[in-house]
Chain A
Amino acid sequence: MTFPISYFLFFCTLLTGTSLSICSSSWFGAWIGLELNLLSFIPLIAIKLCPYATEAAIKYFLIQAMASTILIMSSSMHMFSNDFSYILITLSLLLKLGAAPLHFWFPQVIEGLTWPQAFILLTIQKLAPMFLISYLTYSSNLIFMITLAAILSSLIGALGGLNIMKLRKLMAFSSINHMSWMLIAMTINDMMWLTYFLFYSFISGSVIILLHSTQTYSISNLMNQNKNSSILNLLLPLNLLSLGGLPPFMGFSPKWIMIQLLSSKMMIFSLLVILFSSLITLYFYLRIFIPMILLSFPSFSSLLKIKSLWAFSPFLAIFTFINMFGLCLPIPFSI
């Protein structure tokens, strides 16, 4: 794990941009933060001069620039048409997020990234637009639009990832699907979506660490490479199930809370849609690891056979522990 010092710099500015846009009191400030964030993410992607990374950087830049343009334009319009400008702002933020009807760029960009960059794209890069959208949930019109985007992204995230063989793309679609939960949560409760976001980042981190340590980018890689690593065979399915939200794992708890929240608010229709589509995502998570389990050789050793897994073992241990026992997390608070 060596990386150039400039990584550190750009990472700092990236975080600065995010926090700037979250904390700013005007749309102009938010825009500046977003631009800073964008411009420091580009070098992070393109720091290795390989064609895939460059392509991804260019694509990311173009789309984000377009979204920023719309954002700054509509925020300046908001003096003469309040409604119109806010709708445009929301749409531009959705475009930045990669939420459903504006999601086209998202899988394409993530294809060119390495796993750590993909992790940044899946989590940190979502933070600022999410926060900004959450500031906008005051009129029924906007809430309607956000809900619509949520429902669409749940469907598209589930159905779009159905037959995909590339793991990064799959993570992108699963992130689109999870985004729908966050967007729905946003229309109800600010705290709720943040909780969901934290859980999501945690679990996707746990999956990505595993995939990164074995340098796996597609399902066929998974089957070929790790014949002897029973620990991977054990942990990856569990983490993926957690990501899918299967009850004994941690991924279920935010969904549980959300289900309760939505049914208490009588938002049955949107609840049904996102629940069903989560079920479909569970199907494609299963599709990742079922061949891996079935085609692996039986082995009795539970040692970490792959060197690179050792480097991550403390993280792995923590992540896995939390994944397994995350559902017990609320217990200390309930006593």
Chain B
Amino acid sequence: MIWKISMNEISMLGLFLGSLITGSLALLKIKSGVMDVVEWELFSLMGSSIVFTLVLDWISLLFMSFVFVISGSVLSYSGSYMAGDKTFNRFMYLVLAFVLSMSFMVLSPNLISILLGWDGLGLVSYALVIYYQNEKSANAGMLTILSNRVGDVAILLGIGLMSSLGSWNFLFYSYYMDESWMLLKIFLMISAMTKSAQIPFSAWLPAAMAAPTPVSALVHSSTLVTAGVYLMIRFSAALEGSMIQSFLLVISCLTMFMAGLGANFEYDLKKIIALSTLSQLGVMLSILSLGFSDLAFFHLLSHALFKALLFMCAGIIIHSVGGYQDIRFMGNLVKFMPLTVSYMTIANLALCGFPFMAGFYSKDMILEVAFMSWINFIALLLYVMATGLTVMYTFRLIFFSLTGEYNLGSLSNLSDEDFLMTNSMSILGLGAILGGSVLSWMLFPECYMICLSGVMKMMVLMVSILGGLMGYILNFMSVNYLLKSIYNYKSVVMMGSMWFMPLLSTLKLSEKSLNMGFQMEKVADKGWFEFYGGQGLYYLFSQVFFILNSLQLNSIKVFMKMSMVMIIIFMILSM
């Protein structure tokens, strides 16, 4: 029991220490502008050297520092959240394994050695999603691992393609990849899209919310899902000016919009936050595909801070309302748990880009830079709408859970008294307030030059205010109010279920492939292939054999005659 309690404390201390070390190293690297590369050659194969690369520059070190600080808080937090669990130690080891594979992924941007971390992330996240052993978790886990597997396969194919270069250090080779490397770029984009749950693969991210909430806070919001963005940041030089860029822009803008819209119709607390994560991933990838990878990285870091905080608040709420995740079962929590609610509001406001919170510095800059660059009207529209929708679902969430009527069960015990949980949120709370400004001073010593017309400059603010008002006011109801959702049933259902993406990527996919397999087996394997394959060939050969054998059953005289005939036939043939 002593070990059980101290496990989370020890890991928290270790991780905070690691964060401090990597963070200060990152500061040194930023100051000096030096990148340290350590290559350990495992073996050389036909002139292609297979190396384990460690790249220590400010990007990887800063990312590591953030991963460590978030995982430290989350581990300490789960000391209370998972306290009653029978397999608490397994949970702790899994989260630590996650941190380990995350560091492998971050530190070695080499297409072969990244697989160690990349596959490790997939495996550990699967093990964490199915940590609870009910049917929902099992389904969600299968969806998660299989969607991620697509990306793993894409990386494997990319390894095959890159072997012609003689090395897999895409970090350096990406500067020299022209359009003839389109296929490799497509593969890497697909793997990034699966990890970051972009549109055709986005079903897994909300499904993965079946994992325990600390896991969602660490894995499925702030770090794992940004692995795809990180890969693209490292690969961004090759994306510059290629077709992939515009494709990725379209996909990520659509994801951003879809997730924002879906979150407005979602009732599961964790899934709302997951969808907002999805929307923010869309923001990161879209600005990356406009060519500003440093902005994407900036948003990645600040987003990690407040999103982890948001999830941890959600975890406390779920914990204290007794396992319920449906926001219809919550309400007026501000009366009972003021500290948690204020952390949650901070995180929410940071997410919306409320001025001078963490999200403001990154998101506002991203939007303004995007408005300034050459994008078409649809992309612009999607940006604007997604921004509004973000504020809208945030305020809807606030309305439903934090204010409004008390909707909980008649027996409930709500309080802020669990100091292990609230204390571990304090660092991230600080980060959600200050993180953006500190990071922007650190990463951008020179300001971005923003030159916009007044309308465009105010656009973000106006849209946000409008979205906030709509999100809050549209949820007021009077007694004899007829729900508009019922009258637009079909569109509401479509938006509420992520444009049917979970259905399409589970039921439809498996149904079609199973049917196809059944048909193939019936028609081909047990049908024509057998008829013309095994059985048919055997029949044919036996027939030929009987002819040949009957020729053999003759006397020597006939053989001599036959030989003469054959010789004559051959003579005629060759004449």
Q: Which residues of A contact B (CB under 8 A)?
A: 58-59, 62-63, 66, 70, 84, 87-88, 91-92, 95, 101-102, 104-105, 107-108, 141-142, 144-145, 148, 156, 159-160, 162-164, 280
> Are B566 and A63 neighbours in the complex by a CB distance under 8 Å?
no
Rounded to whole angstroms, the CA-CA distance of A162 and B549 in the bound complex is 10
B570 touches A104 (CB 8 A): no
Q: Once the chains bind, are A63 and B560 in contact (CB under 8 Å)?
A: yes
- With A101-B566, A162-B541, A280-B541 already in contact, the answer to whether A59 and B556 are too (CB < 8 A) is yes
Chain B contacts with A in 524-542, Cβ cutoff 8 A: 541-542
Chain A residues contacting B566 (CB-CB under 8 Å) are: 101-102
Inter-subunit contact B574/A95 (CB<8 Å):
no
Find chain B residues with CB under 8 A from A145 CB.
Answer: 570, 573-574
Q: Is B552 an interface residue (CB 8 A)?
A: yes
Give me 19 A-to-B residue pairs in the complex whose CB atoms sit less than 8 angstroms apart, sorted by A's number. Answer: A58-B556, A59-B559, A70-B567, A87-B570, A87-B574, A101-B566, A101-B569, A101-B570, A102-B567, A104-B551, A104-B559, A107-B552, A108-B556, A141-B574, A144-B574, A145-B573, A156-B548, A160-B545, A162-B542
Residues of A within 8 A of B548 (CB): 156, 159-160
Are B571 and A87 interface neighbours, CB within 8 A?
A: yes
Contact among B545, B569, B571 with A88 in the assembled complex (CB-CB below 8 Å): B571
Residues of A within 8 A of B573 (CB): 145, 148
Contact (Cβ within 8 A) A62 B571: no
State how many angstroms separate the Cβ of B26 from the closest Cβ of chain A. Answer: 51
Task: Quote the shortest CB–CB distance from B224 to chain A (angstroms).
Answer: 44
* B513: interface (CB < 8 Å): no
How far does the alpha carbon of A142 sit from the alpha carbon of B560 in the complex, in Å? 23
Query: Given A101-B570, A141-B574 in contact, is the A62-B556 Cβ separation under 8 Å?
Result: yes
With A70-B567, A104-B552, A145-B574: A163-B545 Cβ-Cβ less than 8 Å:
yes
Q: Which residues of B contact A (CB under 8 A)?
A: 541-542, 544-545, 548-549, 551-552, 554, 556, 559-560, 562-563, 566-567, 569-571, 573-574
B556 touches A91 (CB 8 A): no
Contact A159/B545 with A66-B563, A91-B570, A101-B566 known, Cβ cut-off 8 Å: yes
**Which secondary structure dominates where chain B touches chain A?**
helix
- Closest B residue to A91 by beta carbon equals B567
- Chain B residues whose C-beta falls within 8 Å of the C-beta of A95 in the assembled complex: 563, 567
Partner of B563, one of A63, A142, A144, A160: A63
Chain A residues contacting B551 (CB-CB under 8 Å) are 104
CB pair B563–A102 under 8 Å, yes or no, is yes
Q: Is the CB of A159 within 8 A of B541?
A: yes
List 7 other contacts, CB 8 Å, given A63-B556, A107-B552, A280-B541.
A104-B554, A105-B563, A141-B574, A145-B574, A156-B548, A159-B541, A160-B552
Taking A63-B563, A87-B571 as contacts, is the C-beta distance between A163 and B556 under 8 angstroms? no
CA–CA, A159 and B552, complex, Å = 13
A163 touches B549 (CB 8 A): yes
Residues of B within 8 A of A162 (CB): 541-542, 544-545
Chain B residues with CB under 8 Å of A101's CB are: 566, 569-570
Which 3 pairs show the lowest CB-CB distances between chains A and B?
Answer: A162-B545, A104-B559, A160-B548
**How far is A290 from B352 in the complex, measured between Cα atoms in Å?**
74
* Chain B: minimal CB distance from A4 (Å): 28
Which one, A84, A88, A104, A163, contacts B567 given CB within 8 A? A88
Q: Which residues of B contact A91 (CB under 8 A)?
A: 567, 570-571
A residues less than 8 Å from B544 (CB atoms): 159, 162
B contact residues around A159 at 8 Å (CB):
541, 544-545, 548
Identity of the chain A residue whose Cβ is nearest the Cβ of B567 in the assembled complex: A91
In the complex, A148 Cα to B541 Cα: how many Å?
20
Report the separation of the CA atoms of residues A63 and B542 in the bound assembly, to the nearest whole angstrom: 28
Q: Quick one: closest A residue to B543, CB to CB?
A: A159
Measured CA separation A162–B551 after assembly (Å): 14
Shortest distance between the CB of B569 and any CB in chain A (Å) = 8
Residues on the A chain within 8 Å of B571, using CB: 84, 87-88, 91
